Amino acid sequence: MSKLSLTTALTAILIVMAWLATPGISRAAINVESPPCNPYDFGEVEVGNSSSITLTISNQGELLWARINVEWKSGSSGDFTTEPPCPCETMLVLNGGVDVLEIIYTPSEPGISLATLLVSISDLFTNEVLSVVEIELSGGVEAKADPEIEIDIRPFSKRNRINLKSRGVVLVAALTDEDFDASTIDPKTVTFAGAKPVRWQVRDVNRDGHKDMLFLFKTQDLVELNEESTEATLAGETTDGQIFHGVDAVNIVPRRLGWSRHSLAPPKHSAIVSTWGKIRAE
């Protein structure tokens, strides 16, 4: 080893020894950037979408090597994640250096989500914990409580008659208004009087210029209706998880009361198909 490189090595050792000998060594700084605030609220993010911030951990004090440990104190599962994933491998930050951690919020359902990320900084050489910072995270908005929407049972009839002994079908429209966009309904979540829809389509049922959603149910599936029923409920969720319900009057047709044998006969399957086909063709 040359005299110069030996001198350089000795100097480095002396510097390290000086660091180790420094009492009450100052702390590394932790900064949350973009935007710089703690707690941090991601606000409203659509279910399935993501928003992220960058946690910047910088060693700007007098510490030579900072050892950073990051772990979830709460809320580790589900909506909040980090990149790299936590609990993270120990990060080492040299004096003057920085390391970054991305915090990602991906809401899985409507509502408020909370989490706390725990960042601890210690001296690599002495293991002394110098600083512990809790990053409090929140996201989402309060879910609206089951709003009532406007529905229209048998949209082309004001009497809303339902013959529970029929093997026919019942059309029910979920209508769009200024507070609700019926075209966002997830049809697979919809029930009407205990029945699941067998078909559905987006169309402007009441011709107000706004798309509604029209559902077709088999009458024999309306298990929650009986001859005493005066109203029926359509309920479901939108594609982003907002639950809703709507109520409309029904006029249950009494069995065999004033009906001919002909009218009690169940319609043929082909008649059901042609009814829906006619609507689809419009």
The reply on whether position 154 binds Ca ion by CB under 5 A is yes
Neighbours of 20 (CB within 10 A): 12
Contacts for 215 with CB less than 8 Å, ≥ 6 apart: 171, 172, 173, 174, 187, 190, 192, 197, 199, 200, 234
Give min distance, CB of 213 to Ca ion, in A.
10
Q: To the nearest whole angstrom, how small is the minimum distance from the Cβ of residue 207 to Ca ion?
A: 7
Nearer to Ca ion, 79 or 212 (CB): 212
For Ca ion, the binding residue among 25, 110, 149, 152 (CB under 5 A) is: 152
Cβ proximity to Ca ion, 135 vs 170, nearer residue = 170
For residues 103 and 82, the answer to whether their CB atoms sit within 8 Å is: yes
Q: Is the CB of residue 79 less than 8 Å from the CB of residue 139?
A: yes
Binding segment for Ca ion (CB under 5 A), chosen from 4-12, 152-160, 232-240, 270-278, is 152-160
For residues 276 and 205, give the distance between their C-alpha atoms in angstroms, rounded to a whole number: 13
Query: If residue 16 lies in a helix (H) or strand (E), which one and from where to where?
Result: helix 3-21
- Find the binding residues for Ca ion in span 210-249 (CB under 5 A): 210, 212
- Residue closer to Ca ion, measured from CB, 152 or 221: 152
Q: State how far the Cα of 37 lies from the Cα of 85, in Å rounded to an integer.
A: 22
155-214 residues in contact with Ca ion (CB under 5 A) are 160, 204, 206, 208, 210, 212
Task: Give the interface size with Ca ion as a residue count (CB under 5 A).
Answer: 8
Judged by the rule CB under 5 A, the positions of this chain that interact with Ca ion are: 152, 154, 160, 204, 206, 208, 210, 212
